[in-house]
Amino acid sequence: MTVKTRFAPSPTGYLHVGGARTALYCWLYAKKTEGQFVLRIEDTDRERSTDESVQAILDGMEWLGLAHDEGPFYQTQRFDRYAEVRDELLAESKAYRCYCSKERLDELREQQMTNKQNIGYDGHCRNLSDAEQDLSKPHVIRFKNPLEGAVVFDDLIKGQISVNNSELDDLIIARTDGTPTYNFTVVVDDLDMGISHVIRGDDHVNNTPRQINMIDAVGGQQPLFAHVPMILGDDGKRLSKRHGAVSVMQYRDEGYLPQALLNYLVRLGWSHGDQEVFSHEEMIELFDLKDVNRAPSAFNTDKLNWLNQQYMKSLPTEEVAKHLQWHLNEQGLDVSKGVSVELLIPEMAERVKTLKELVPAIRYFYQDYEDFDAKAAKKHLRPVARQPLELAKEKFVGEDNWNADKLHALVNATAEELELGMGKVGMPLRVAITGAGMSPDLGVTLEWIGKDAVLRRIDKALKFIAEREANS
């Protein structure tokens, strides 16, 4: 069997992490089996679907690198096809017209509630004769669900599921205005598109028996089903906006790498021993639906942060730089002049969790800082620092060979001449040139900041010390 999976989002909002995980599982399974991955946009709900959402889904999928092999198919472009199948079902008496008024249905529902019966349509119009039909009257089309027996299917994640047909009522497949309903379009599409594996969130598991009955009625190969348990927030409640970022693009905005988010999502509900970090190839090779957890999984931001840092350190720097560029633009930092960001990334990734945090952490390599970090300045830019800063500056001014080793030697020489420990020279200098107390190796930092900026910033530190002396 050739595997064909599909991701079928409704464009009624952004692409959220739950959807992205489903998409990832569909994509992985198709890749693993050398099958096809279909993207289908379920946009029949015209009131809730928007073009922006469609774009957000396409952007999210692209950012994650989950390329589809077929599609995107839009359900709104397939209305003729749904009408065709609907008419076939009508002609074969597998569906029927229902003229029941809203009042009748409300009353029925109330009665069922009072009598503690299953809620659902009672089949009132199921057996109307031709003479009793009046096509000029408003009506919906209902599917004739089998009255007896049970629907049994082997969910690839949840195991065997069985539902009695007596619990399923006759579903509306076309509304009064003729528009098709969700369960019906999914059935027509999955059959037409030759979907072999329906992998989706388990919020749809109750729809599956109904869909299976319709698949049998329409005729065609029934796909296999895999319902993925939902994602919970760290408080055990269903993941939602309350828990912070839920849209995939918000993760980009927050500074996560798509590789890290994918790795995080694949592990969220699936495991392979206790391995945490998976390359793209490993994910494809090792992923299997049978290893997806049956229980819901909880979102854990600390773990995502940890993974993101791992990826910032381990991915090729040009790849990290590519994603960093978005944040540089966003935060207005021009890195076109000065040290290459590709040199900074391995040094600085150690100190931050996200690309968003990386931008302020590297800013001083490209721009003079505005103010000193108050704590660092208080501690290190004291009157005793004036002399070492002056002497170091003097040495730097005459130095044309501006490289880390040479600069290191000059800082050492300054300490030796003044008979000071390295810290007494190095720390004031570090605060002077970076504005704060943390940076990579001092020689390297001096080299990367560049001679002009180093001299200018030492002057700024000396001015700060002088003002401090004057005020004391």
Catalytic residues: 241
Instruction: Tell me how far apart the alpha carbons of residues 420 and 400 are, in angstroms, rounded to a whole number.
Output: 25
Please work out the total of residues on this chain that contact ligand GLU, with binding judged by CB under 6 A.
7
| Footprint on residues 93-122 left by ligand GLU (CB under 6 A) | none
State the nearest-atom distance from the C-beta of 289 to ligand GLU, in Å: 15
State the nearest-atom distance from the C-beta of 440 to ligand GLU, in Å: 47
State the nearest-atom distance from the C-beta of 166 to ligand GLU, in Å: 24
Instruction: Tell me how far apart the alpha carbons of residues 99 and 138 are, in angstroms, rounded to a whole number.
Output: 6
Query: In terms of CB distance, is 6 or 393 closer to ligand GLU?
Result: 6
Query: In terms of CB distance, is 57 or 427 closer to ligand GLU?
Result: 57
Query: In terms of CB distance, is 200 or 353 closer to ligand GLU?
Result: 200
**Nearest residue (beta carbon) to ligand GLU:** 200
Region binding ligand GLU by CB under 6 A among candidate stretches 4-12, 29-37, 113-121, 245-253: 4-12
Region binding ligand GLU by CB under 6 A among candidate stretches 3-11, 256-264, 287-295, 346-354: 3-11
Interaction of residue 188 with ligand GLU, rule CB under 6 A: no
Region binding ligand GLU by CB under 6 A among candidate stretches 7-15, 115-123, 314-322, 389-397: 7-15
Interaction of residue 200 with ligand GLU, rule CB under 6 A: yes
Interaction of residue 9 with ligand GLU, rule CB under 6 A: yes
Query: In terms of CB distance, is 14 or 256 closer to ligand GLU?
Result: 14
Q: What's the angle, vertex CA 144, arms to CA 143 and CA 147, rounded to 5?
A: 140
Interaction of residue 8 with ligand GLU, rule CB under 6 A: yes
Query: In terms of CB distance, is 164 or 206 closer to ligand GLU?
Result: 206
Over the window 167 to 186, marking each residue x when it contacts ligand GLU by CB under 6 A and - when it does not, the resulting string is -------------------x
Which residue in 32, 97, 124, 204 binds ligand GLU (CB under 6 A)?
204
Interaction of residue 60 with ligand GLU, rule CB under 6 A: no
Interaction of residue 42 with ligand GLU, rule CB under 6 A: yes
Query: In terms of CB distance, is 47 or 302 closer to ligand GLU?
Result: 47
Interaction of residue 210 with ligand GLU, rule CB under 6 A: no
Interaction of residue 10 with ligand GLU, rule CB under 6 A: yes
State the nearest-atom distance from the C-beta of 72 to ligand GLU, in Å: 13
Region binding ligand GLU by CB under 6 A among candidate stretches 6-14, 137-145, 342-350, 379-387: 6-14
Q: What residues make contact with ligand GLU under the rule CB under 6 A?
A: 8-10, 42, 186, 200, 204
